[in-house]
Amino acid sequence: MLEIKDLHVAVDGKEILKGLSLSVQAGQVHAIMGPNGSGKSTLSYVLAGRDGYEITSGSITYKGEDLTAMKPEERAAKGIFLALQYPVEIPGVPTLTFLKTALNSQRRARGESEIDALGMLKLVREKAKSLGVKEEMLKRALNVGFSGGEKKRLEILQMALFEPGLAILDETDSGLDIDALKVVAEGVNALRDPSRAMLVITHYQRLLNYIVPDRIHVLAKGRIVAEGGKELAHELEAKGYAEILKETA
Amino acid sequence: MAATDTKEKIAALGEKYKYGFVTDIEMERAPKGLSEDTVAFISAKKGEPEWLLEWRLGAYKRWREMKEPNWARVHYPKIDYEDAYYYAAPKTAEKPKSLDEVDPKLLETYKKLGIPLHEQMALAGVAVDAVFDSVSVATTFKENLNKAGVIFCPMSEAVRDHPELVRKYLGSVVPVNDNFFATLNSAVFSDGTFVYVPKGVRCPMELSTYFRINASETGQFERTLIIADEGSYVSYLEGCTAPKRDENQLHAAVVELIALDGAEIKYSTVQNWYPGDEEGKGGIYNFVTKRGDCRGKNSKISWTQVETGSAITWKYPSCILRGDNSQGEFYSIAIANHFQQADTGTKMIHLGKNTRSRIISKGISAGQAQATYRGLVSVHPKSENARNHTQCDSLLIGGKCGAHTVPYIESRNRSARIEHEATTSKIADDQLFYCTSRGIPQEEAVALIVNGFCREVLQQLPMEFAVEAQKLVGISLEGSVG
Ligand SMILES: Nc1ncnc2c1ncn2[C@@H]1O[C@H](COP(=O)(O)OP(=O)(O)OP(=O)(O)O)[C@@H](O)[C@H]1O
Ligand SMILES: [Mg+2]
């Protein structure tokens, strides 16, 4: 489903990803762990197509298509979703309006019919309820004044709404209390599907107790330096990155 | 509310400048240039009484002695006032009595503009006066309004049918010698809208006027006068379009509002005159004087404007808060893209006790455009307990445009409380990325963010128009990023 080969990425002329390769099959959930500054968010931005992240060599294909030439909105319409580590505030734009605009833009790009206001309200309400997002929040300006946890829930709500083919969650668990973590994990698990792949970036093994990954990759200094099954998370938790990096060096 | 037709009409405003077309209709004009003869010609064409001709000639004399103002932050080549026409009207024998008698070409024009003058407008609850170059060509729903006692008619008709009202109020808010452009207007004004709402009447429908410049080399000088008698309420909306031409055309209107005791006037503008092309060629010079007089106690005047068109905008809708406890409001969105220049703002003149004013201005600049907010809050010595709150926000899109804020505050009473807040921001990359990564194309993302920025003002528009005004905001920023 997602195939990354020998990817090199530079930001402002500085190389951040240095030959990263990764392959995720449909139906699988992969976790990416790694020290601060190792390039995890950079990888997620590159996948979503953010400006300023220059691919100097290597390739990314999604469902066999070259992703690198597509604009972010084209990728979104093709089913790529990135839950941001730091969701952005947009003053004056009601959350519901944003959700509606985004979903209908994606549908339009795919040649599907748009959902009308009423249909959208029903759809969003239903998802909001299952994720414990208060209706009152949907009327407020997007992410403005939302608590850290509320912002993260809203990211997952969007994932549930867009039903992406590849979901990338960048530290969605950071800043969540234990109950919220469970709700978010349930939301993610509910979307697990043979046709869908997920890339879960996290620092904590705790999340992986709820979202059990098929595979764990350790990213350090712009490269995948270790890989393993779900037990790798326990090992990392016990030993820390330094130890693992030494072992793999 | 069955507002779809109304929506369509503003929806039309909201698509890429598509009113650039010209209606091919035979026109009658005054001779080129400006002289006493031109003024007399216009007055005679309208069959005006002697007093009004005198009034015009007086204005003309004053104007000859006046200098064009140059304090605004706008730049344009010198206007040759002798090289323009001051009157142009479709050549029909007489003003049609009903819509069925209106020249089909004109009806077609308004249809193309998205303004159906027929029954559909009733569904939307909006009465329309359509002004084509120098004359009003149709006014709808007069009967319905008559029943309520509301007078809504072209200015030229009001001069004929309600001379006592016109004579009493015309020039009582914007005096003949107020400023260069207003004085010019007083001499040569052609048509415009007159509204009178009697005591205690809540006007049963939205009133609106559509101004259309069609003829080339012709200025438009309309004059609008709205009087809300004691305890009455009226909401009025004006919309404007003009053909695409390489030349610059002058639009110098005067709008006067009078609110007596306890009356309220809500005046909204969606201005989409041709802004010129992407290189800055052509476009309307919009030099307009709009002023409201809260003459009575507890009266209220509220200006809301969405200014997206014109090559140059020079416009300061103001409130004179004369009556005790009166309130003035100014809500403004001014968008300048490409080479447009906008110098706009308001004046709040506090004369009465316990008067309140509120200013919310949202300026958006993109391309190489310059947007200036210029505002005056003045509190006179006898105005006890005056309150003003000003919020003035600028948004920049790209690195070549500019935003400027010029607030003047004059307080001559110690009990006054005046608050001024100003912000300048840019659309952040991470905001754009957040939108595009969720599937929203870049231009739509800009429109969404800008509409969010303008929200407090958009909310002030009559419901039927708000949605479509949002579209207009998006359209006028096309090509501003990427
Ligand atoms: N514009 C930039 N210019 C230079 N360096 C940058 C720029 N943006 C990011 N970096 C650097 O790239 C590296 C990788 O950053 P990234 O955000 O991808 O790390 P991360 O693995 O997500 O870290 P964390 O776990 O703290 O979220 C960091 O060293 C960061 O400082
Ligand atoms: Mg990160």
pLDDT digit string (tens) for A124-145?
A: 999 999 888 999 999 999 999 9
CA separation for the pair A55, A46 (Å, rounded): 8
Q: What is the mean pLDDT of chain B?
A: 83
Which residue has 């001709």 as its token pair? B53
CA separation for the pair A71, B175 (Å, rounded): 57
Partner-chain residue, chosen from A76, A88, A109, that has the shortest CB–CB distance to B430: A88
In this prediction, residues B31-49 reach a mean pLDDT of: 87
CA separation for the pair A168, A188 (Å, rounded): 11
Q: Which residues of A touch B441 (CB under 8 A)?
A: 71, 73, 105
Task: Report the chain B residue with the minimal C-alpha distance to residue A99.
Answer: B438
- Give the SS3 label for residue A12: coil
Residue nearest atom 29 of ligand 1, based on CA coordinates: A37
How crowded is residue A47: how many other Cβ atoms within 10 Å of its Cβ?
25
Question: What letter represents residue B110's amino acid?
Answer: Y
Which of A59-73, A206-220, B146-160, B268-282 is least confident? B268-282
| pLDDT band of A194, cuts 50, 70, 90 | very high
Start-to-end CA distance of chain A, whole Å, equals 30
Q: Which two tokens stand for residue B290?
A: 């709009």
Ligand 1 atom at minimum distance from A171 CA: 27
Alpha carbon of B419: minimum distance to chain A alpha carbons (Å): 22
| pLDDT band of A153, cuts 50, 70, 90 | very high
Bridge partners, residue B403, by sequence: B371
CA separation for the pair B263, B234 (Å, rounded): 9
Closest C-alpha among A84, A184, A100, A82 to residue A138 = A100
| pLDDT band of B337, cuts 50, 70, 90 | confident
Residue B144: pLDDT above 80? no
A43 membership: H or E segment, kind and range: helix A40-48
Q: Which residues of A touch B452 (CB under 8 A)?
A: 90-93, 141-142
b/e for B159-193, b at 16 or more Cβ within 10 A?
beeeeebbeebbbebbebbbbbbbbbbbbbbbbbb
Q: What domains, with CATH codes, occur in chain A?
A: 2-248 (3.40.50.300)
Q: Select the residue from A45, A51, A93, A95 to test the B interface by mutation, using most B Cβ atoms within 10 A.
A: A93
- Tell me the torsion sign for CA atoms A181, A186, A188, A194: positive
In this structure, chain B runs to a length of: 482
Ligand 1 atom at minimum distance from A12 CA: 3
C-alpha distances (whole Å) from B172 to each of B168, B229, B379 are: 8, 15, 21
Q: What is the mean pLDDT of chain A?
A: 93
**Cβ contact, residue pair A49, B434, below 8 Å:** no
Residue nearest atom 24 of ligand 1, based on CA coordinates: A36
- Give the SS3 label for residue B362: strand
Residue B249: pLDDT above 90? no
| pLDDT band of B110, cuts 50, 70, 90 | low
CA separation for the pair B97, B222 (Å, rounded): 21
In this prediction, residues B82-97 reach a mean pLDDT of: 68
Based on its alpha-carbon atoms, the radius of gyration of chain B, rounded to whole angstroms, reads 21
CB A236 within 8 A of CB A227: no
Q: pLDDT tens digits, residue range B465-481? A: 777 688 778 777 877 77
In this prediction, residues B278-294 reach a mean pLDDT of: 86
Question: What letter represents residue B335's amino acid?
Answer: I
- Tell me the torsion sign for CA atoms B168, B173, B179, B184: negative
Q: Is the whole-model pTM more than 0.90?
A: no
Residue nearest atom 19 of ligand 1, based on CA coordinates: A37
Partner-chain residue, chosen from A51, A90, A158, that has the shortest CB–CB distance to B452: A90
CA separation for the pair B385, B326 (Å, rounded): 12
Q: Which two tokens stand for residue B351?
A: 């004369």
In this prediction, residues A211-217 reach a mean pLDDT of: 95
Which of A163-167, B175-179, B269-273, B426-430 is least confident? B269-273
Residue A13: pLDDT above 50? yes
Q: pLDDT tens digits, residue range B393-452? A: 999 988 888 899 999 999 999 999 999 999 999 888 999 999 999 999 998 999 999 999
Closest C-alpha among B240, B228, B204 to residue B294 = B228
Provide the 8-state DSSP code for B133.
T
Q: Which two tokens stand for residue B256?
A: 């006067």
Alpha carbon of A117: minimum distance to chain B alpha carbons (Å): 13
CA of B480 to the centre of ligand 2 (A): 31
CA of A123 to the centre of ligand 1 (A): 36
Which of A207-216, B90-99, B388-397, B461-470 is least confident? B90-99
Partner-chain residue, chosen from A52, A73, A82, that has the shortest CB–CB distance to B440: A73
Chain B residues with CB under 8 Å of a chain A CB are 428-431, 433-442, 444, 448-449, 451-456
- Tell me the torsion sign for CA atoms A123, A126, A132, A134: positive
Write out B142-178 in H/E/C secondary structure.
HHHHHHHCCEEEEHHHHHHHCHHHHHHHCCCCCCCCC
User: Environment class of residue B377 by beta-carbon count within 10 Å: exposed (0-12), middle (13-18) or buried (19+)?
Assistant: buried
In this prediction, residues A50-58 reach a mean pLDDT of: 95
CA of A186 to the centre of ligand 2 (A): 23
Position B213 scores a pLDDT of 61
Most confident of A103-107, A188-192, B222-226, B268-272: A103-107
Question: What letter represents residue A13's amino acid?
Answer: G
CA of A197 to the centre of ligand 2 (A): 20
CA of A37 to the centre of ligand 1 (A): 5
Ligand 1 pocket residues where CB is under 6 Å: A 11-12, 14, 16, 34, 36-42, 85
Q: Which two tokens stand for residue A13?
A: 């002329």
CB pairs under 8 A between A and B: 81
Partner-chain residue, chosen from B436, B439, B449, that has the shortest CB–CB distance to A93: B449
Q: Comparing B1 with A15, which gets the higher pLDDT?
A: A15
Q: Which residues of B touch A75 (CB under 8 A)?
A: 437
Task: Report the chain B residue with the minimal C-alpha distance to residue A141.
Answer: B452
Q: Which two tokens stand for residue B209?
A: 């006027």
Alpha carbon of B372: minimum distance to chain A alpha carbons (Å): 22
For a ligand 1 pocket test, name from A16, A44, A84, A224 the mutation site with the most ligand atoms within 8 angstroms of its C-beta: A16
In this prediction, residues A97-124 reach a mean pLDDT of: 96
Question: What letter represents residue A220's amino acid?
Answer: A
For a ligand 1 pocket test, name from A40, A171, A236 the mutation site with the most ligand atoms within 8 angstroms of its C-beta: A40
- Give the SS3 label for residue A80: strand
> Distance between alpha carbon A235 and the CA centroid of its chain, in Å?
24
Ligand lying closest to the C-alpha of residue B430: 1
Find the Cα–Cα–Cα–Cα dihedral B165, B166, B167, B169, rounded to 10°: 80
Alpha carbon of B333: minimum distance to chain A alpha carbons (Å): 14
Position B6 scores a pLDDT of 41
Position B121 scores a pLDDT of 47
Partner-chain residue, chosen from A50, A92, A97, that has the shortest CB–CB distance to B433: A50
Task: Report the chain B residue with the minimal C-alpha distance to residue A50.
Answer: B433
Backbone angles phi, psi at B162, to 5 degrees: -135, 55
Q: Which two tokens stand for residue B457?
A: 């003002």
> Distance between alpha carbon A146 and the CA centroid of its chain, in Å?
20
Alpha carbon of B425: minimum distance to chain A alpha carbons (Å): 12
C-alpha distances (whole Å) from B299 to each of A115, A163, A195, B451 are: 44, 54, 65, 30
Q: Comparing B190 with B234, which gets the higher pLDDT?
A: B234
CA separation for the pair B326, B345 (Å, rounded): 20
Residue A246: pLDDT above 80? no
Question: What letter represents residue B141's amino acid?
Answer: F
